[in-house]
Chains A and B, each alone.
Chain A
Amino acid sequence: MSARSFRSVGWVAGVAATALGCYMVNLKVASERAALEDVETRIVLAERDIRLLQTEIGTRGRLAQLEKWNVKVLALSAPAANQFMDGSFQLATLVAPQKVLDPTAPVVLASAPALAHQPVLASDGAVASPSAQSSPAGMLHTASLKRELPAAAMPRRVAPAPKPVPEKSKLAQAAAERPTPARRKVAPKVDPLAPKPEAKATAPAKTGAAASKPKAVALTKPKAKVETKTAAAKPKREAESEAAAKPKREAATKTAATSKPKSKEAPAKQ
């Protein structure tokens, strides 16, 4: 009875609720759309601002202005034909070390100085600058230029021997003798690929602990045989000036870079 009489009221309520729901959805959509439009408007405004700023930057940095600065301050000019490179290889050749063929430079002894340098590097930063400068160069050249594997491996084994004998004459002898036996012995044992990293890695470990100058002298002597001889014979100053006169060579060739600074130090200590 009552259910039937309220049926129409139920219908009305249902329809009203549905209509209201639809309207709510509608309202929601409309507000979302408004927000979207708001964002779009902001984008357009931002684009306008960007355009305005770009125009301002472009106007302030106009080519005529840059040219004026160039003429008055920088004075840059167009590159000449010979300033153009064929490629990265030609560019690299500009900074490549000049290889000077020096018959007296003992190619063999390339890696020994790397050993000798390490103490200076590892122990004390305040040590004379030449050694500090030379050590990275020495390492670099050991890694790149030296292709002879035995030479790299050699110092570890051979170097300790001359330690107690710092005299020049003996060193010279030792140097003369050493290379041949050392190479013969070591070469077969060492892994052909290993020596380069080894030489670098082991050196600091060894030298870091006992970084005394005498040792360094002893180590370097054999390598820098030819140069040290002359350097030691001359007064220290001369040796220094000679060293200074050949900066290019030092940087360029492996042997020179590694041995020179040592030869300077050696006579001073003695």
Chain B
Amino acid sequence: MNAPTPALVGRPDRLRLVGQRRQLLAVMHQRLMFGMLVYAGIIAVIVLRLLWLAAFGDHAGRKTTVTTAAPDRGDIVDRNGQPLARTIDAWTIAVHPTKILGNKLDLARKLAALMPERDEAGWLQLLRSNKNFIFLRRRAAPSLVEAVNALGEPGMALSREPDRLYPQTDLAAHVLGFTDIDGHGAAGMERAFDQRLTDSATRGEPLVLSISAPVQQALEHELLEAKTTFSAIGAAGIVMDIHTGEILAMTSLPQLNPNIAGNMDPEARFNRATLGVWELGSTFKPFTVAMAMDAGKVKSMGQIYNCPRQLHAFGRTINDTHPFGRACTVAEIMQESSNIGTAQIAAQTGAEAQKRFLKGMGFLDPIAIELKEKGRTLTPGSDWSELATMTVGYGHGIAVTPLHLATGYATLFNGGIYRPATLLKVGPGHQVPRGRRVFSDATSYKMRALLRLVVTEGTGGKADAPGYRVGGKTGTAEKLIGGRYSKNVVVTSFAGVFPMDEPRYAMVVMLDEPKGTADTYGFRTAGWNAAPTFGRVVSRIAPMLGVRPDLKREPNMAEVLPYIRKED
């Protein structure tokens, strides 16, 4: 537009000058405009941002500290929702030795009075050290925190930090496990589900265990009493739902307090129920009979075996505690817990079948459970001779965990279907696994009367809880010490099922090295210690589990009673 028109006439140099000027002006205008637009843009952006913030932004008083109630580590609760492990904010007392303003000697004196784990000299030495920060006490009691605060020393640091608390202390300690100082699981379910408990997406929801706190308490209390009475060095107990594989209670003694797990004896931290393996003796006999029945070798409870006073086989001698010295029936073999009879039944079944059944019940593998503390079973392995078959038949030469035994009994009595044990509550998020058939339904049914017989007529008489139709088998196994079976050191156990006419719960009670007492006439066999403990636990837990006591109900005892000769 402003370009010189050709009509304009002037001196060429002047004309050139005007053209340059105009050009310069135009450029300046352009630059000015550009600069203005830039500033306007920036201001517009700021204004828009302000408007945006005013409309949708946070306000100045927003608190960012407390926004959710989710704990730092998920809770663990029992099947009824009772908390078994929780994270709380605990007080921590620490000191910054370099920031102490007051007299260190005075402070050391006062601290020694408050926290007597060190004497004055010790405290003084600690306060005079060049360290920047020292933890004095974690999970301090509020009264102590108050007292330390009252010292008024700015060098003392009081703070809160999340801490794992087990409100029920000893209850189910071996199932729960414990956490290390950093708050990570070090044992038990804390370890097995560490990821699930710490993940921010899942920790809001508590981890629901299959454990039932009242049942667990009853089992623990009765076992502890038995352990004390019989001066045993340890004990283990398991209660299991045979249809779902849920473990309702599992304990191992000596007790463990997970709140102070670090200070506990390693013996207490050892989980005898899943980590320890034992030769459990006669409690294996029902499996042997069931195997023979399933394999078609034993056709009736009245099948006759020759039961001499001693059986010599493959250079070994097998003995009985109550030798028959005559022909006896399968029912009698079980009633009197005859090793000689059971060994013959096992031999008849054969090593291959025995291995197949044991494999089916999971006895040859580490126990299937969520816990990471799993014991390795000890078996004859490659040396599964006929003698080994016979000894395994009555529970020697094979070492399994008590949980294996409970799973085995569950398999035997739930209709013959193996399902892995679980510590998580069965429900919408955790279905019962399909399982695999090990024994036939008919075998499972016939075994009911046989094991009930052991309690009504045989060695397990003291395990009876009137009205609850307890059935089970005693087991007394000599402990292998230095490669030899000791006559005096035994492991006694009782494995059973109740109510026998409609089995629902399997339970195993084991005592490690019980001693005889005056009440047991010096006997230390399972019938005198494990069996009565079993009976007491059943009479306590059965009502909680909804088993109705009924003195008139019994399994079909006509299966076995005709084959028992009453000794007079």
Contact = CB atoms under 8 A, between A and B. Distances in A.
A78 B62 contact: no
Given A34-B61, A37-B62, A64-B217, A81 B168 contact: no
Interface string B142-175: 0000000000000000000000010111110000
Name the prevailing secondary structure of the A interface residues. Answer: helix
A30 B169 contact: no
Contacts of B88: 52, 55
Given A55-B88, A67-B221, A81-B551, A37 B466 contact: no
A64 B168 contact: yes
A58 B549 contact: no
A54 B83 CA distance: 9
Interface stretch (B65-73, B102-110, B124-132, B413-421): B65-73
Contacts of A41: 63, 66-67
B7 interface: no
A44 interface: yes
A64 B543 contact: no
Contacts of A64: 168-171, 217
Interface residues of A, number: 27
Contacts of A79: 543
B539 interface: yes
A47 interface: yes
A81 B466 contact: yes
B548 interface: yes
B171 A63 contact: yes
Chain B interface extent, by class? 35 or more
| Main secondary structure on B side of the interface with A | loop
Given A26-B55, A78-B540, A63 B86 contact: no
A206 interface: no
A58 B168 CA distance: 8
Contact of A81 (B55, B68, B214, B550): B550
Nearest to B55: A26
A41 B67 CA distance: 7
A82 B69 contact: no
B86 A45 contact: no
Nearest to A40: B67
A81 B554 CA distance: 14
Contacts of A26: 54-55
Contacts of B540: 78
Given A52-B88, A78-B540, A63 B59 contact: no
B59 to A, nearest CB: 5
Interface string B506-530: 0000000000000000000000000
A62 B82 CA distance: 10
A62 B167 contact: yes
17 contacts: A23-B54, A34-B61, A34-B62, A44-B67, A52-B88, A55-B86, A55-B88, A58-B82, A58-B168, A62-B168, A63-B168, A63-B214, A64-B168, A78-B539, A81-B468, A82-B551, A84-B543
